[in-house]
């Protein structure tokens, strides 16, 4: 498994294994698309590898089973809530099953993706087993937001952080997945070094609609092209879901443009356009545009006429270009 930008995390696990100081619980934190699951699988392979050298050999029975999603000691816990939330009943079986010894080696791993979406009652259930787990159990969890996790759980886990990789590494990763160099560069212009989001963009035609729409609107803002802005906003009138998603993403771009004036790094799509927008407009203008987009988004979400709201929004934005 080839990793990009995660060497610090894997080196930490390797050191823990070699010193016999492996923790019983890890939370891998980072934005969507940063590679949290990829790192989780890598950490699991480090822990379960029969060589126990801190580096997965990739050829032992344990490594091969994990690669083929067939390792009996790597247990993925899935949420049952409508919004992907864990419920208490999703996690209670862990308490009774954790005492069962591993099938293949010395450790059994429970993998809980997006534990930050667990309801408070579910987190309290998990806390019971995380506080005093059997010696053979390791928890690997992922989260996009640490603030949604109980402090008592955080205090009993080791946090690993993953973020964006360099643009060159991102392009290399995309090319490793069979993406052409030109497509990889186009994706990186939109999403920076977020490998997951770039892969979604180049591999799914539907996934391209939103970033391309936001990109065209942003380009109109950068070029101060009121007519192009009106045409692109008008194209959103008949698709309320896309309209709301585009307005939300456009707010993020404007926010990044504003924060760029103070040296902060952007996290939205259309990174390069956000920087250009920051150079073109004053902070006060960006603040007003952000407020106008927020107001329009709120009105449309409350079933106001998209045609009227978007026309008015175009007028308001044009004043500040």
Q: What share of the chain is helix, strand, coil (3-state, %, to 5)?
A: 60, 5, 35
One domain, residues 273 and 149: no
Number of structural domains the chain divides into:
3
- Asked whether residue 34 is assigned to any structural domain, the reply reads yes
One domain, residues 213 and 196: no
- Asked whether residue 44 is assigned to any structural domain, the reply reads yes
> Which segments in the chain show pLDDT lower than 70?
1-2
One domain, residues 154 and 192: no
pTM of the model: 0.77
One domain, residues 70 and 116: yes
- Asked whether residue 195 is assigned to any structural domain, the reply reads yes
- What CATH number corresponds to the domain at position 212? 1.20.272.10
- Asked whether residue 1 is assigned to any structural domain, the reply reads no
One domain, residues 237 and 249: yes
Q: Which domain holds residue 250?
A: 205-319
Return the pLDDT at 205: 83
Return the pLDDT at 219: 92
Given a contact cutoff of 8 angstroms between Cβ atoms, the answer to whether 310 and 296 are in contact is yes
For residues 219 and 217, give the distance between their C-alpha atoms in angstroms, rounded to a whole number.
5
- Asked whether residue 289 is assigned to any structural domain, the reply reads yes
Given a contact cutoff of 8 angstroms between Cβ atoms, the answer to whether 62 and 97 are in contact is no
Return the pLDDT at 265: 75
Instruction: Using CB atoms within 10 Å of the CB of residue 227, give its burial: 0 to 12 exposed, 13 to 18 middle, 19+ buried.
Output: exposed
Domain boundary among 161, 188, 221: 161
- pLDDT tens digits, one per residue of 130-175: 998 999 999 999 999 999 999 999 999 999 999 888 889 999 999 9
One domain, residues 128 and 250: no
């Amino acid at each position: 498994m080839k990793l990009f930008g995660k060497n610090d995390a894997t080196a930490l696990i390797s050191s823990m294994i070699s010193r016999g100081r492996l923790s019983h619980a890890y939370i891998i934190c980072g934005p969507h698309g940063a590679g949290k699951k990829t790192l989780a699988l890598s950490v699991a392979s480090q822990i379960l590898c029969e060589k126990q050298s801190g580096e997965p050999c990739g050829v032992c029975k344990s490594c091969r089973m994990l690669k083929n999603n067939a390792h009996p000691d790597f247990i993925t816990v899935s949420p049952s809530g409508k919004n992907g939330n864990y419920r208490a009943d999703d996690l209670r079986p862990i308490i009774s099953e954790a005492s069962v010894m591993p099938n293949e080696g010395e450790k059994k791993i429970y993998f809980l993706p997006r534990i930050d979406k667990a309801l408070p009652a579910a987190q309290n259930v998990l806390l019971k087993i995380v506080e005093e787990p059997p010696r053979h159990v390791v928890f690997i969890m992922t989260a996009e937001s640490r603030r949604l996790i109980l402090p008592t759980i955080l205090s009993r886990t080791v946090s690993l952080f993953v973020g964006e990789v360099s643009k060159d590494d991102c392009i290399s990763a995309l090319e490793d997945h069979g993406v052409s160099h030109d497509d990889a560069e186009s994706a990186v212009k939109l999403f920076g070094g977020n490998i997951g989001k770039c892969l979604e963009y180049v591999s799914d035609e539907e996934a391209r609609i939103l970033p391309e729409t936001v990109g065209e609107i942003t380009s109109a803002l950068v070029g101060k092209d009121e007519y192009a802005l009106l045409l692109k906003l008008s194209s959103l009138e008949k698709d309320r879901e896309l309209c709301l998603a585009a307005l939300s993403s456009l707010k993020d771009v404007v926010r990044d443009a504003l924060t760029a004036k103070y040296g902060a790094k952007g996290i939205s799509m259309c990174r390069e356009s956000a920087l250009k927008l920051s150079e073109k407009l004053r902070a006060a203008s960006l603040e007003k545009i952000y407020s106008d987009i927020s107001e329009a988004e709120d009105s449309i979400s409350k079933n106001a006429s998209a045609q009227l709201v978007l026309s008015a929004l175009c007028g308001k934005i044009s004043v500040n270009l």
